[in-house]
Amino acid sequence: MNEPLLTDQGVFDRAFAQLLGLDDRLVPVAGVAGRPALRRRPPGFAGLCAVVIAQQLSVASARAITGRFEAALGGTPTVEAMLCAPVETLRAAGLSAPKIRTLTGIARALAEGEVDLEAVARMEADAAAEVMTRLPGIGLWTADIYLLFCLGRADAFPHGDLALQVALGEALELGGRCTPLGLRAIAEDWRPLRGVAAHLLWAYYGARRARLGAPA
């Protein structure tokens, strides 16, 4: 694994400066977005649970449900606690039936050794994401988000993310949203710092919508 790890804001800031040196098209993007803040979640099963819970929810709703979920499991979520938790308790915490099935399936797969998250952490970003899709309910987007936010992998890049596609289309004046394949191809210029570029594009997306008075 040759990519840097984004361990703290100082490391991120240095990587951000390197990224702008890789592609001068990103300099005006940074002028709009500013310097992004590093976004991190805990690694391992607990972090993966948080990523799954947050899908298709507002930040406030995700935080509230995650807090109730952790309380229901007696603290930081573990595979063992998840497998022992009654469905009624999980529902009362605010989890939908599909997310209960996904989290239970992930816990069971990890307990049975189908995927080793510690081994995933040592793999190259794209290969690691592919391995993570062996977990029930985990697609490439979720895998890349886990690698980027939970493991701090600087080259993880969720090219299927709608906000990134819209942001790049606007930033490069492509006449519309960038396609996933187009986004992935352009992002090749940013290796091994594609995850840093993702932070920048998310910040750009938010800044543009704040200026327009639209919800980010």
pTM of the shown model: 0.90
**Interatomic CA distance for residues 164 and 199, integer angstroms:** 9
Between 210 and 167, name the one with better pLDDT: 167
- The mean pLDDT of the chain is 93
pLDDT band of 100, cuts 50, 70, 90: very high
- Please give the share of the chain, as a percent, with pLDDT higher than 90: 88
pLDDT band of 210, cuts 50, 70, 90: confident
Q: What is the pLDDT of residues 122-152, one digit of tens each?
A: 999 889 999 999 999 999 999 999 999 999 9
pLDDT, position 209 = 82
What average pLDDT does the segment 77-102 reach?
A: 96
pLDDT, position 216 = 44
Confirm if 193 and 154 have CB atoms less than 8 A apart.
yes
- The 10 Å CB-count burial string (b at 16+, else e) for 35-48 is ebebebbebbbbbb
